[in-house]
Amino acid sequence: MGKIIFGENLAVLKTLAGESVDLIYIDPPFNTGKRQQRTQIKTVHDEAGGDRTGFQGKRYRTIKLGSTGYDDVFDDFLGFLAPRLEQAFRVLKPNGSFFLHIDYREVHYCKVLLDQIFGRPAFMNEIIWAYDYGGRTKRKWPAKHDNILWYAKDPQNYTFHYDEMDRIPYMAPGLVGKEKAARGKTPTDVWWHTIVSPNSKEKTGYATQKPLGVLRRIVKVHSNPGDVLLDFFAGSGTLGEAAALLGRDFILVDNNPDAIAVMRRRLAQYGAEVVVFDGEGG
């Protein structure tokens, strides 16, 4: 069973029982200093008034359906995150794992903060999610990756299902033989995965939506069927869909009405319950 909570995440976290969650993944604002926004559109065939050209030169007219976004600006980003990360540590089970999805601007500061909260031995991996999409600056090496920090609450006791990893192709299959090439190899800490394409069926229209494939990998390897998964910067609800597809329960928290509307539509088929937080746990 899944739950979507509309409320301020720090207040919600304080009401959750200690050591009650098996896996936490969060994708907080990256503190880019910019407004993050996505516009949803559709196109209709219109030879006379079309504003774009499609297959075989046919003309199409663009219709704007709406947009979602938020201001990704914090004067004290670590001061904002710290109490939320402390609550995450409190609610995480002793054998649970915590994943922080961030980018190159803040990852080094966040790692120092997490080392303080979880302890340096609890740091397990920095996963690089690499993609190749969008514009390329000519003034420096184009940034085409995000960083995902993995911490295990107990570095001697955590969930890690090696056999659940989705295998990837060898770059030189001819060098490893037919059997190995057919089986593929396990991923490293560098994950090549496309972003959510603007034309993909997966696309919800929500700004900063992350790919289901990346979240499925985390959920499959780091949790068990029936576990409780938490994302308190839930956005479009990708963790919730990955959890539902793999037989896990989920708790998603966000205080953006657009996010709640997207998650309500996206997760309705999984029976997700929507709760408005009233300050006393629901």
pLDDT tens for each residue of 23-40: 999 999 854 444 434 444
The separation between CA 15 and the C-alpha centre of its own chain, rounded to angstroms, equals 23
In the chain, the percentage of residues whose pLDDT exceeds 90 is: 68
Model confidence at 213: pLDDT above 90: yes
Summary mean pLDDT of the chain? 87
Which runs of E-coded beta strand occur in 80-232? 92-102, 123-130, 145-152, 190-192, 228-231
pLDDT tens string 68-124:
443 444 568 899 999 999 999 999 999 999 999 999 989 999 999 999 999 999 999
- Cα Rg of the chain, angstroms: 20
CB atoms within 10 A of CB 270: 15
Enumerate domains of the chain plus CATH numbers: 2-33+73-276 (3.40.50.150), 38-70 (no CATH)
Specify the residue for token string 């969650």: 21
Could you give the CA distance from residue 133 to residue 254 in angstroms, rounded to a whole number?
A: 27
Specify the residue for token string 């995150």: 81
pTM attached to this predicted model: 0.83
How sure is the predictor about 132, in pLDDT bands with cuts at 50, 70 and 90? confident
In the chain, the percentage of residues whose pLDDT exceeds 70 is: 83
Closest CA to 23 of 217, 275, 277: 217
> Number of helices (H) and strands (E), helices first, in the chain?
7, 12
pLDDT at 206: 80
Closest CA to 241 of 214, 270, 262, 218: 270
pLDDT at 146: 95
Could you give the CA distance from residue 8 to residue 262 in angstroms, rounded to a whole number?
A: 17
Least confident of 121-125, 200-204, 239-243: 200-204
- Please name the residues in contact with 223: beta carbons below 8 A apart, sequence gap of 6 or more: 22, 23, 97, 159, 229, 243, 246, 248
Sequence-ordered alpha helix ranges (H) in the chain = 9-15, 77-91, 107-118, 178-183, 212-222, 238-245, 257-267
pLDDT at 57: 57
Mean pLDDT of 245-265: 95
Torsion, Cα 192 196 201 206, to 10 degrees, reads: 150
